């Protein structure tokens, strides 16, 4: 009797093991695990989705929500008329719109649409990560030859509100194709003497014979222009801006002409950058 019971227990144990193994393989065959190719396809789809969201369609400042509209509008006015709305931080006769046409809301300019989703970012000048407040302070110290706006100042807060509003809908850290300047590729050696001729033929009608500005265009050198620490003082930036956007609304200069006139303009006297002045 005892032997029969032991034999029966052994048989049942073996049967359970076999059944359990069968169920395991059954459910394993039904499970769906993503293959590496599936994961790669998913990532590609995410990239395509993000790319489809990168559309240049900045909202109007006046359409900002009521609770931030006043700040957004102040930021817009600072960019359009810096001499009036942030004069205490400006040390020359420039306005932000001189480089950022229509307060940065145009694509064919140094656009500001999307800057709010690309910062913080690494800046070669600082050899470290920089946020948008610090970047804006640098513009005032260098391009405007003025003073850095305190982060808590209402002018700086208004600029931040404006940047974020016109960047509405763009994905964080997306590749924004219209930001920055596309540098010129050329084997041409810039010639300041040839650039002086280009300036006389093309640029003086707006910027004046001496490059000191007129009622319709800013000074390109002299005491009322950007200082030698500004990004536009670098010939690679000046030439790219000139080729892509000048004359305003009708860019006509060739790459070689832009390089030549850049060599001439950046060699002219201008204020010296003094940090924290």
Same domain, 79 and 161: yes
**What average pLDDT does the segment 5-31 reach?**
45
On average, the pLDDT of the chain sits at 87
pLDDT(13) > 50:
no
Same domain, 79 and 138: yes
Same domain, 105 and 198: no
Give CA–CA dist 254/247, Å, rounded: 12
Same domain, 69 and 161: yes
Same domain, 148 and 207: no
pLDDT(169) > 80:
yes
Q: Which residue has the tokens 């059944």?
A: 19
The closest of 199, 86, 72, 208 to 141, measured between CA atoms, is 86
pLDDT(236) > 90:
yes
Going from the C-alpha of 184 to that of each of 130, 188, 236, 256, the distances in angstroms are: 26, 10, 7, 9
Same domain, 151 and 203: no
Is residue 68, in this structure, part of any structural domain at all?
yes
Is residue 260, in this structure, part of any structural domain at all?
yes
- Domain of 150 in residue numbering reads as 61-166
Which comes out higher in pLDDT, residue 131 or 42?
131
Same domain, 65 and 162: yes
Going from the C-alpha of 75 to that of each of 121, 193, 248, the distances in angstroms are: 22, 40, 23
Which comes out higher in pLDDT, residue 239 or 39?
239
pLDDT(43) > 70:
no
Q: Tens digit of pLDDT for each residue in 69-106?
A: 999 999 999 999 999 999 999 999 999 999 999 999 99
Same domain, 211 and 124: no
Task: Please report which confidence band the pLDDT of residue 19 belongs to, taking 50, 70 and 90 as the band edges.
Answer: very low
**What average pLDDT does the segment 241-264 reach?**
96
pLDDT at 10: 45
pLDDT at 95: 98
Which comes out higher in pLDDT, residue 111 or 22?
111
CB 139 within 8 Å of CB 149: no
Give the count of domains, the chain: 2
CA dihedral 251, 125, 142, 108 (to 10 degrees): 20
Is residue 50, in this structure, part of any structural domain at all?
no
Same domain, 90 and 157: yes
Q: Please identify, among 132, 166, 200, the residue that sits at the C-terminal boundary of a domain.
A: 166
Q: Please identify, among 151, 166, 181, the residue that sits at the C-terminal boundary of a domain.
A: 166
pLDDT at 277: 66
What is Dmax (Cα atoms) for the chain? Answer: 121
Is residue 178, in this structure, part of any structural domain at all?
no
CATH of the domain at 226: 1.10.760.10
Is residue 40, in this structure, part of any structural domain at all?
no
């Amino acid at each position: 009797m005892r032997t029969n019971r032991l034999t029966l227990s052994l048989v049942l144990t073996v049967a359970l093991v076999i059944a359990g193994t069968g169920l395991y393989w059954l459910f394993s065959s039904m499970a769906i695990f993503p293959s590496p190719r599936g994961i790669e396809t998913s990532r590609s789809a995410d990239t395509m989705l993000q790319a489809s969201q990168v559309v240049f369609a900045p909202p109007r400042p006046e359409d900002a929500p009521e609770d931030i509209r006043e700040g957004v509008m102040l930021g817009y006015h600072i960019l359009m008329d810096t001499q009036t709305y942030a004069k205490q931080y400006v040390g020359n006769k420039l306005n932000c719109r001189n480089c950022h046409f229509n307060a940065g809301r145009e694509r064919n300019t140094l656009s500001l649409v999307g800057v709010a989703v690309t910062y913080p970012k690494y800046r070669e000048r600082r050899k470290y990560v920089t946020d948008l407040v610090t970047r804006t302070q640098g513009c005032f110290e260098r391009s405007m030859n003025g003073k850095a706006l305190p982060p808590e100042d209402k002018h700086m807060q208004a600029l931040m509100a404006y940047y974020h509003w016109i960047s509405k809908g763009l994905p964080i850290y997306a590749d924004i194709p219209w930001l920055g300047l596309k540098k010129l590729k050329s084997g041409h050696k810039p010639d300041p003497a040839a650039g002086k001729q280009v300036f006389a033929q093309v640029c003086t009608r707006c910027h004046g014979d001496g490059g000191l500005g007129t009622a319709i265009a800013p000074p390109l050198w002299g005491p009322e222009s950007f200082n030698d620490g500004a990004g536009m003082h670098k010939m690679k930036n000046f030439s790219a801006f000139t080729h892509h956007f000048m004359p305003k609304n009708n860019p006509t200069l060739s790459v070689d002409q832009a390089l030549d006139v850049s060599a001439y303009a950046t060699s002219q006297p201008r204020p010296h950058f003094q940090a924290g002045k």
